A = this chain, B = another copy of it.
Amino acid sequence: MSTMPILVVGSVALDSVETPFGTAKAVLGGSANFFAAAASLFGRIRMVGVVGDDYPMDRLDFLVERGVDLAGVERKSGESFFWEGRYDYDLNTRETISTRLGVFADFQPHIPEAFRDAELVFLGNIDPGLQHEVLDQVTSPRLVACDTMNYWIEGRREELLRLLPRVDVLMVNDAELRQLAGEPNLLHGARWVQDRGPDYVVVKKGEHGAILYAPDWIFFAPGYPLEEVFDPTGAGDSFAGGFMGYLSGSDELSREELRRAMIYGSAAGSYAVESFSVDRFRTLTPLEMAHRVEEFREMTFFEHELGVHARG
Contact = CB atoms under 8 A, between A and B. Distances in A.
A72 interface: no
A303 to B, nearest CB: 7
B312 A304 contact: no
B222 A222 contact: yes
Residue in A227, A286, A294, A301 whose Cβ sees the most chain B Cβ within 10 Å: A301
Interface stretch (A24-32, A121-129, A255-263): A255-263
Given A246-B311, A287-B310, A306-B290, A300 B219 contact: yes
A3 B312 CA distance: 9
Q: How many copies of this chain sit in the oligomeric assembly?
A: 2
A307 to B, nearest CB: 9
B225 A91 contact: no
A209 B299 CA distance: 13
Interface of A: 1, 3, 41-42, 89-91, 178, 184-188, 205, 207-209, 211, 217-220, 222, 225-229, 246, 249, 256, 259-260, 262-263, 285-287, 289-291, 293-294, 297-304, 306, 309-312
Contacts of A185: 226-229
B226 A89 contact: no
B299 A285 contact: no
A257 to B, nearest CB: 9
